[in-house]
Structures are given as C-alpha cells and as structure tokens.
C-alpha cells in the first residue's frame, strides 16, 4: 500500500503555523530525530535540521527518486490499462453493432426470424432455415409468400406480410446498429450507450479534479518546498544562536557548516515540523521529490485519480444513475 503525506482537515493551520515559525522561531522548534524520517513515510529520509549533510542529502535524493520512479511506473501501467479498457470497450460495442447489423441484413435476404407475436418471418429470397419454438425449423421466402397472397387474391394479407417483414427488418438491423448510441433496457436491466458512459467519465473527472479542495491542495503542494526550507533555516538559526549563547562553539560551528545542506535537503526532500499544537497531528511538509510533492502528485496521485475517473465501463444496472436522475426529473 502506497503511503503519502495526508491532506488533513487542519491544512489551513499548517500554512499559518509555517508563517508563525518563520516570524518567531521560538514557537515551533522540532527536535532532531534519532531515527531516519517520520514513521508515516514509506521510505527512510532524514528531514529535521542538523541531520542532513551533503552526503545525506544526496542519499535522500536517490531514495526519493527511486521511490517516485517505481510508483510512477506502477501508476502509468494502471493508466494504460484503464485507457486500454475504455478503448477496447468502445471498439467491442461498435464491432458488435456492425456484426449484428450484418447478421440482420443476411437474415433479411436469405434467412428470416421467428417472433413470438409474428411467428415465422422469412427473408426476401429465403433459403436458410429459421428455428422456432422447441427447435422446430422452417424455410421460406417473402417473395414466395407474397406470390401466394396475390395468387389467392388476398391483397390485405400481402400488405400484412410486407408490414411484418418491414418491422422485423427494422428491429434486427437498426437496433444492433444503434445500440452503441442508445440505452437499452431489458428485464429491468439498463445497458448504457457510449455517449452516456463517456458523459459519466466526464462527470467523474470533474468530481476528481474540479473542486476547491483539489485546487487548495495543489497550492499547498506548490508552496510546501519553500515553507520546508524556511522551517529548516529558522530552526538551524535558532539552534546555532542557542549554542553560541551557551558557549558551545564546536556544535555551533558544526551546525553552521550543515546549514546550507539542511535547507536544501528540506526544500528537496521535505521537512518534519513536529506536531501541530492545535490538534496533535504530524506536520510533514513535502519537498520537491518526496511523497506528496508536485512530482509525486503529477505522476502518481493525479494519475490514480484519473484511473478512478475512467471507472468500469460496460456494466449494467437495474437503477438509473444519480447523474441521470436529475435530468429525468427536469
């Protein structure tokens, strides 16, 4: 299961906390972790200030890139499968329609049909047997039937035979041909047409991406690397100031040397800001490469959302979908 930095209801306070930390570094001062990265992450990185020298930074970059590549490859495969399923489904519907139309034309010329209300209705020229109830087959042709009608002087019956044939021809040619474009309900089960299914995909995409929550999440993701860098900078500066005041010049010098790598590491690999003082939730700010970053969102999260929007086509339902219920009620 892929874990990413969650977007919590407390998100508005995250940016506020970041601003407070930058303005007054004493409000939030995460301690340097002894373990590599917060437990919620699905790969090990060291995020807190004072821990990331340039070697550690490069190691984190390698780990994050490897994870992003692996997850992006998986998501890309899922997207390819979903798009392939949509294409195959539409192609199958069109192919089935053309096959059904061709069968209808063949029966209209050389075979015929058996209808529960019309009995045997033969093709124009006949020749192919028509199977009726209990496997009983008969052969005949419309031309032969009309010849008999006219020979017997039964013009009304001839008209009836032509009318019956025309209705069966229409039902067995136009129905399969139009099936991909029109919904069909049989025994309480509705099979939806291609336009309706594509409309549902469009609705799903709008639900996945067309919301203020999604836009706000994007803004937070874009701003997060800068906030992470400011967190690391303010934390390191405060630590150095405290160490100098205590006379610990050795540790202060070491932290000063790591200041640049700490800030760059936070911008690139993210930052663990400790715990939200308002709700106790972990405050994990994504960088440019790690889970929850723009690249992670683009190649993994948004790709998976797109796959979800494509949904499962070709299913049948005995009920009208919610998005059609509103239209039918107008």
Residues 215, 313: one domain?
yes
State residue 188's pLDDT score: 85
136-160 pLDDT, tens per residue? 999 999 999 999 999 999 999 999 9
Domain finish residue from 183, 217, 244: 183
In a domain, 62, yes or no: yes
Q: Are 79 and 145 contained in the same domain?
A: no
pLDDT at 238: 94
Strand partners, 311: none
Residue 109 falls inside a structural domain: yes
| Domain annotation covers residue 2 | no
**Spatial separation of the C-alpha atoms in residues 184 and 193, rounded to whole Å:** 8
The answer to whether 283 and 8 have CB atoms below 8 angstroms apart is no
Q: Can you give the pLDDT at residue 264?
A: 95
DSSP, collapsed to helix, strand or coil, labels residue 49 as coil
Among residues 128, 148, 183, the one where a domain terminates is 183
Give the mean pLDDT per block of 10 residues along the chain (330 residues). 35 38 35 33 37 84 93 94 93 95 97 89 95 92 96 95 95 94 88 92 92 92 94 94 94 92 94 85 89 92 92 57 45
Q: Are 126 and 140 in contact (CB under 8 A)?
A: yes
Domain check: are 205 and 260 in the same one? yes
pLDDT of residue 32: 35
- Look up residue 158 and give its two tokens: 């001839």
- Cβ-contact 222, 11 below 8 angstroms: no
Residues 209 and 302 in one domain: yes
Instruction: Let me know if residue 142 belongs to a domain.
Output: yes
pLDDT for the residue numbered 24? 35
How many angstroms separate the first and last alpha carbons of the chain?
43
* Residue 194 counted as domain residue: no
Q: Which two tokens stand for residue 43?
A: 């790969």
Verify that 216 and 317 share a domain, yes or no. Answer: yes
In terms of domains, do 258 and 205 share one? yes
Instruction: Tell me, yes or no, whether 204 and 306 share the same domain.
Output: yes
Number of structural domains the chain divides into: 2
| 214 & 230 share domain | yes
Residues 298 and 209 in one domain: yes
The whole-number pLDDT of residue 282 equals 82
Asked if residue 229 is part of any domain, the answer here is yes
* Residue range(s) defining the domain that contains residue 102: 93-183
| 109 and 244 fall within a common domain | no
Residues 143 and 280 in one domain: no
68 plus 209 within the same structural domain? yes
Domain endpoint, select from 148, 183, 218: 183
- Residue 71 falls inside a structural domain: yes
pLDDT value, residue 79: 93
């Amino acid at each position: 299961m892929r874990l990413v930095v969650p977007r919590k209801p407390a998100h508005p306070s995250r940016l506020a906390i970041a601003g407070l930390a930058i303005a007054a570094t004493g409000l939030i001062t995460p301690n340097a972790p002894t373990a590599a990265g917060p437990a919620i992450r699905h790969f090990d990185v060291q995020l807190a200030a004072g821990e990331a020298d340039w070697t550690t930074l490069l190691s984190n970059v390698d780990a994050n890139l490897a994870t992003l590549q692996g997850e992006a490859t998986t998501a890309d495969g899922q997207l390819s499968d979903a798009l392939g399923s949509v294409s195959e489904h539409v192609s199958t519907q069109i192919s089935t329609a053309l096959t059904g139309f061709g069968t209808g034309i063949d029966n209209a010329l050389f075979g015929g049909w058996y209808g529960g209300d019309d009995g045997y209705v033969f093709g124009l020229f006949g020749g192919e047997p028509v199977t009726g109830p209990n496997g009983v087959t008969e052969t005949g042709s419309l031309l032969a039937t009309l010849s008999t009608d006219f020979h017997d002087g039964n013009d009304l019956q001839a008209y009836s035979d032509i009318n019956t044939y025309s209705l069966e021809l229409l039902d067995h040619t136009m129905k399969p041909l139009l099936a991909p474009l029109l919904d069909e309900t049989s025994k309480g089960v509705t099979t939806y047409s291609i336009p309706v299914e594509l409309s549902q995909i469009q609705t799903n995409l709008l639900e996945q991406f067309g919301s203020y929550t999604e836009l706000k999440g994007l803004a937070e993701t874009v701003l997060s690397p800068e906030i992470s860098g400011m967190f690391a900078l303010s934390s390191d500066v405060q630590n150095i100031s405290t160490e100098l005041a205590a006379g610990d010049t050795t540790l202060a010098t070491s932290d000063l040397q790591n200041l640049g790598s700490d800030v760059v590491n936070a911008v690139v690999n993210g930052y663990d800001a400790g715990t939200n003082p308002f709700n106790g939730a972990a405050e994990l700010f994504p960088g440019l490469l790690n889970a929850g970053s723009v690249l992670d969102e683009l190649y993994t999260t948004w790709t998976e959302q797109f796959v979800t929007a494509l949904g499962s086509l070709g299913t049948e339902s005995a009920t009208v979908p919610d998005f059609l219920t509103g239209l039918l009620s107008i």
